[in-house]
Amino acid sequence: MNSITNDLQRKRAKHLLLYLIYAEIILMAGAKVMTFHKRAVFSDAEIAAAQNSTFGSPEVQAPVNALPNGVLVFDAETKQTTVHEGEAQANFIFNLQNASKKPLVINAVKTSCGCTVAKVQPLPWILKPQDKGQIAVTMNVLGYADRSTKEVTIYTDQGSKPLTVVAIITPVEKSQ
């Protein structure tokens, strides 16, 4: 039953990635009008990366308890950037270090939305004591307005750690 559920989730995610539905909010005479468009926007490689990033492997994500403080240290738990309306992506880099005295295994990385992809070393990623690394996160912000906040969760053999990425989308000034 569990494999059927996972297959259904993967199939739904692939369908959503192939035909990304995004909304454009158009302000006309003070009224909000919502229009929807369907378009194919991801290559096969991007779909595979997003599926791995979004779903990981449930068998290796355990334990789901919080990662103890001082085990895996990040330069920040929240990253924020500003992009202009119409830009396609917001990019973030999380620097990390295994601060413990024993190896740490990153088994999976999940994002809260299919519009966000985390790039990591091949999984399982084994960090020896004091090893450093980076997690690159890319958020598709096309069609978003104001602000978009997403979560990236790191699953290790010692617990999980949520990280947050925030894109502030500024409107483009129109010349008169």
pTM of whole model > 0.85?
no
Indicate if the pLDDT at residue 2 is higher than 70.
no
Tell me the pLDDT of the chain averaged across its residues: 76
Is residue 8 very low, low, confident or very high in pLDDT (cuts 50, 70, 90)?
low
The pLDDT of residue 140 is: 96
Which carries the bigger pLDDT value, residue 96 or residue 46?
Answer: 96
- C-alpha–C-alpha distance, residues 23 and 32, integer Å: 12
Q: What is the mean pLDDT of residues 11-27?
A: 38
Q: For the chain, which residues make up each domain, given as ranges?
A: 2-170
CATH among 3.40.50.620, 1.20.810.10, 2.60.40.10, 2.40.170.20 for 2-170: 2.60.40.10
103-130 pLDDT, tens digit per residue, is 999 999 999 999 999 999 999 999 999 9
CB 148 within 8 Å of CB 141:
yes
55-104 pLDDT, tens digit per residue, is 444 444 444 689 999 999 999 999 999 999 989 999 999 999 999 999 99
Backbone dihedral region for residue 90 (phi beyond 0: left; psi -120 to 50: alpha; all else: beta) = beta
3-state secondary structure the chain: CHHHHHHHHHHHHHHHHHCEEEEEEEEECCEEEEEEEEECCCCHHHHHHHHHHHHCCHHHHCCCCECCCCCEEECCCEEEEEEECCCCEEEEEEEEEECCCCCEEEEEEEECCCCEEEECCCCCEEECCCCEEEEEEEEECCCCCEEEEEEEEEEECCEEEEEEEEEEEECCCCCC
